[in-house]
Amino acid sequence: MNEKLLQISRRIRELREILGISALDIAQNAGVPYDTYVKYEEGKLDIPISILYEIAAQLDTDLTVLLTGEAPRMDSHCIVRANNGVDIERFPGYKFSSLAYNFKNREMEPLLVSLEPDDEPAPLVIHGGQEFNYILEGCVRITLGKRVFDLNVGDSIYFDPRLPHVQAAVGGSAKFLTVINEGK
């Protein structure tokens, strides 16, 4: 596991301990087994983005604090120059880059997602709110519940992310913009 992911795990544990919240409470409220949550905090297991959002909400902090160790500072606008988003690696071949990490009190999370073909598909995830994906490069296969859609450059999908879902690259690398509103 890379150092960035270990730092995120350490920040979560430290903030949880400062606030006097038990790991068991966080795990139960996030809907994950306690043993899995402990592995998240130990940096032994990648934390799905949906669980990161849930942990941030339970710790009453912004996701940016967990990702970077710093609080967002901008309240009127936030410019993120090309290739300067905060990267989050989740699964093999699956990388997120936060495009509004420095904006305070965000009501949505725009992320640039880069996908590489992988023999081991990422697991299905669920989270609250709403999600929008716009394909920028390549072909993205989106599994949404029991349905599968292949989207190409310029295609988009808006959906209820409470349905189990996952995106995968088809026939080569792919890139898409996703905007997630967690429904706070």
CA distance 48 to 147: 22
Q: Collapsing DSSP states into helix, strand and coil, what is residue 168? A: strand
The tokens describing 136, both together, are 């920028």
pLDDT band at residue 183 using 50, 70 and 90 as cut-offs: low
Other CB atoms within 10 Å distance of the CB of residue 143: 17
Tell me: the pLDDT tens digits for 142-154? Answer: 999 999 999 999 9
Chain centroid to CA 76:
24
Asked if pLDDT for residue 94 goes beyond 60, the answer is yes
Residue 6: predicted pLDDT: 84
CA distances from 156 to 26, 78, 105, 136 (A): 34, 24, 26, 10
Q: Over the stretch 40-86, which tens digit does the pLDDT of each residue have? A: 999 888 887 778 888 998 999 988 888 888 888 888 888 888 888 88
**Count of other CB atoms within 10 angstroms of residue 140:** 25
Q: Mind listing the pLDDT tens digit for each residue in 155-165? A: 999 999 989 99
Say yes or no to pLDDT of 13 above 60. Answer: yes
Q: What is the mean pLDDT of the chain?
A: 88
CA dihedral 137, 138, 139, 144 (to 10 degrees): -40
pLDDT of residue 90: 64
pLDDT, position 124? 84
User: Can you give the pLDDT at residue 31?
Assistant: 87
Domain 3-68 shares a fold with domain 86-181? no
Domain 86-181 carries which CATH code?
Answer: 2.60.120.10
Domain boundaries, the chain: 3-68, 86-181
Q: Is the pLDDT of residue 3 over 80?
A: no
Alpha carbon distance 165, 90 (integer Å): 15
pLDDT at position 136 over 80: yes
Residue 121: both structure tokens together? 């598909």
Cα–Cα dist 139/171, whole Å? 7
- The CATH number of domain 3-68 is 1.10.260.40: yes
The pLDDT of residue 88 is above 90 = no
